[in-house]
Structure 1
């Protein structure tokens, strides 16, 4: 009997599916790229976007600290000037951040009232944003942070009595050890 050669394998549905998978994945990836591309363009910062600035808190006493921030500037630095604190330079905190920030201390002898705070993107001659800072009459609380100013006479007396009792108890324990 003559030897017969095995039949040539026929292409099955499974083989067709395997060859179509890479094409389908490529089509899905292309569609995803088209869908996400407009979103990426919208979230990218625009060079012509208006800058915004804040001075926080917006009301402060003389010798108080003010946090200054500017968004949308597009530069690595900004200059801030005011009659309340003079001139301050804002910088980015890191390469990943887009905003500029810094702080200033209001002059001890700053006049109470509203002071203009002028932010200049990139320094003198750059885009300007002006905000208001209210300087209140009086001095900023410092040192104890206001923790003593609100204590009543009774609270102070009780605290002193507790301190005296603790001291007397310590002396009694030490004398008792010494005599034993």
Structure 2
């Protein structure tokens, strides 16, 4: 019987503590992972590829061994001309960098023949996880779990009072039950 009483008292104490403890909530919606794309994924030597970095809050860059480094301005896309001496059948990596938010990598394949624009060509797109350690603008605040913007003495006092009241009530009820059964 004592084990049941002790377990119920402990459960009541944990429940009261859990209900009075503030929860951590991340409310900053500005932190997103950028989405990089290359279109088309297969291009002839001398052809053009369209590069974009949506979701990047700054100017992104794209680098490859078959074209010069290009900058992709916020909210736009850009084109790059593939070198005319690119090896037919070769795959070349395109490296994207969105400072403070992440990086991405895609492969483009060099096809044979002359480059002609294709209508309805499919883009290779994927989301990437951030691999940089820099803090993104508007990131979740550290130290307090990002749950509060500042310390409010009134809320802290009210929360502490609720926890103390719950603990006191729990102890009172457990002792009262124990005294009532000793007769």
Same fold? TM cut 0.5: no
Q: Comparing both chains, which one has the higher relative contact order based on Cα–Cα distances under 8 Å and sequence gaps of 6 or more?
A: 2
More helix by share: 1
Greater Rg over alpha carbons, structure:
1
Normalising by structure 1, report the TM-score.
0.45
Normalising by structure 2, report the TM-score.
0.44
